[in-house]
């Protein structure tokens, strides 16, 4: 039995005051059973939100991190620093790949560093619109998984988020069938890379224009175990509804 996960990625939104207010509005999430709930505020708000949610059962994530534990890397956050306030880290988000030139080799170093420092990784992968249109979705996902995970010691329960780039922020999500096809492929590639135990226990999330109105379609898919939510996670009612739907679907 895989415990489903609902992850809210706040991206570069919310001032300190706004983040604290949003955190207070998420109190109802502590009453949702059967799902792990994670929120990823900006780095400046992370400690404040962690303090507000300390007794809620909601877990904290960084939106990125450097692979080095310490060093002369101006503007970066190390896994050692992040582990003081968070237990999760999102790695490989398409916005990091696109705007900050992150590649699979760098992600491999980050995933290993996260493991060493006791952080749970959420590895985001996904194809661009032109890659899907050319029929290259499978090749892209395979390449990203092999590039980031080959040769690493991946724990059971590892989390991969399938986020088709063309769906993120577009208001045009993938269909449940498309997301399920990608999730099944991811699980098959994980079996090749890490063996059946890791593949079977891996939690695979869907991300890309997820809303309360469409989450049921994704939560019902057999190989999907939750969602990585962007804009809708900034609305407490939306995120609560999404989390409840994920928990309910996986209990059914």
Alpha carbons within 13 angstroms on the beta-carbon side of residue 246 total 33
Alpha carbons within 13 angstroms on the beta-carbon side of residue 212 total 12
Cβ(198)–Cβ(2) below 8 Å: no
Nearest to 244 by CA among 229, 141, 180: 229
User: How many CB atoms are located within 10 Å of the residue 237 CB?
Assistant: 11
DSSP 99-119: HH---HHHHHHHHHHHHHTTP
Marked catalytic residue, from 66, 93, 102, 112 = 93
- Per the annotation, the verdict on 117 as an active-site residue is no
Marked catalytic residue, from 95, 127, 131, 163 = 163
Cβ(202)–Cβ(190) below 8 Å: yes
- Per the annotation, the verdict on 163 as an active-site residue is yes
Q: Name the residues annotated as catalytic.
A: 93, 163
């Amino acid at each position: 039995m895989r415990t489903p996960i609902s992850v809210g990625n706040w991206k570069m939104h919310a001032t300190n005051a706004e983040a604290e207010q949003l955190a207070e509005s998420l109190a109802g999430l502590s009453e949702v059973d059967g799902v792990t709930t994670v929120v990823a505020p900006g780095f400046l708000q992370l400690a404040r939100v962690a303090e507000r949610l300390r007794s809620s059962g909601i877990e904290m994530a960084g939106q990125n991190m450097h692979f080095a534990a310490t060093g002369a890397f101006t503007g970066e956050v190390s896994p050692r620093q992040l582990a003081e306030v968070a237990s999760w880290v999102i790695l490989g988000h398409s916005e990091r790949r696109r705007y900050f030139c992150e590649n699979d080799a760098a992600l491999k170093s980050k995933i290993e560093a996260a493991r060493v420092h006791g952080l749970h990784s959420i590895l985001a992968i996904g194809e661009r619109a032109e890659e899907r249109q050319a029929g290259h979705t499978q090749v892209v996902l395979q390449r990203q998984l092999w590039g980031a995970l080959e040769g690493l010691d991946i724990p059971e329960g590892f989390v991969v988020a399938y986020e088709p780039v063309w769906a993120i922020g577009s208001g045009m999500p993938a269909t449940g069938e498309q997301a399920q096809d990608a999730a099944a492929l991811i699980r098959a590639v994980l079996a090749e890379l890490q063996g059946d135990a890791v593949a079977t226990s891996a939690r695979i999330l869907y991300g890309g224009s997820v809303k309360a109105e469409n989450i049921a379609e994704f939560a019902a898919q057999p190989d999907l175990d939750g969602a990585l939510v962007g804009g809708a996670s900034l609305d407490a009612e939306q995120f609560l509804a999404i989390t409840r739907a994920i928990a309910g679907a996986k209990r059914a």
